[in-house]
Structure 1
Amino acid sequence: MAVLKEGSKAPAFKAVDQNGKTIALKDFIGKKVILYFYPKDDTPGCTAQACNLRDNYQLLLDKGFAIIGVSTDSVKSHKKFEEKYQLPFSLVADEDKKIVDVYNLWGEKKFMGKTYMGTTRTTFLIDELGKIKKIISKPDTKNHTEEVLAAWDEA
């Protein structure tokens, strides 16, 4: 799988979110998209990141952004996560890892001395034409909105 670069077209995908709605990236042409990949629902870093985006949701909407979260968790898991934290955006279930694979984000990780396979936390900022404007490789989960806005402005 080729490594994605800023300026290249964002790979298309279609999947189901926590509400059973089919989400396709092509449906967001004309909008700025925050496409963020995270390892697991309801874990400390993933919760901090989702809640930071939630807390700044209106600001991001006002600036023309749509937010799509992607993890390999199930629709049911995403629904529980959404309800527990009142998340106002789509969380796409990628249980078969097709989206994670096409974005080249499934890989070896290390935590507490153990090595395992998982999703690499990464955010893609996609412009209105569907091109990758900026890739944030190691998002700051607690300050993700500020990081997104700064990255968009400097790109």
Structure 2
Amino acid sequence: MSRRSIEIDDEVFAFLQSHSEPLVDSPNDVLRRLLLGSSGRPSTAMAERRPGGLMPFIRAGVLKAGDKLIHIQPRRGLTHEAAVTADGWLKIEDGREFSKPSPALKAQTGVDINGYAKYALKEDPEVRLQDLREQVRGEI
């Protein structure tokens, strides 16, 4: 099999990361899965994505599809919002979807931030994803 090189911008790379299994998938693996599916032929693999990082929260009943999460940057006067999808992903304001909170928040702020520590429930900003994570872990 011959190898070719391509250049991609940071936004495309972030998208590939959001669809990858850390330390398992290469960017080529993600592109192959998204573009060709398991059959090796073009498919609608995007509809077959795996559950996102918030799926355990949904199963435990501490989050539901449509719940809103926020991150407030008081010094900059900015509030970033993300919605929980039915399959445990986060959909940010520009329509992009991420399987985990930290890449979603990085896409919104431009810096690496722990999404579990910084995203909070919009309806109750005192409750962070980290609080819910600890609650879900306690139920296992």
Work out whether the TM-score is over 0.5: no
Rg larger for: 2
**RCO (CA 8 Å, sep 6+): is it higher in 1 or 2?**
1
Instruction: Compare the two structures and name the one with the higher strand fraction.
Output: 1
Instruction: Compare the two structures and name the one with the higher helix fraction.
Output: 2
Using structure 2 for the length normalisation, give the TM-score.
0.26
Using structure 1 for the length normalisation, give the TM-score.
0.24
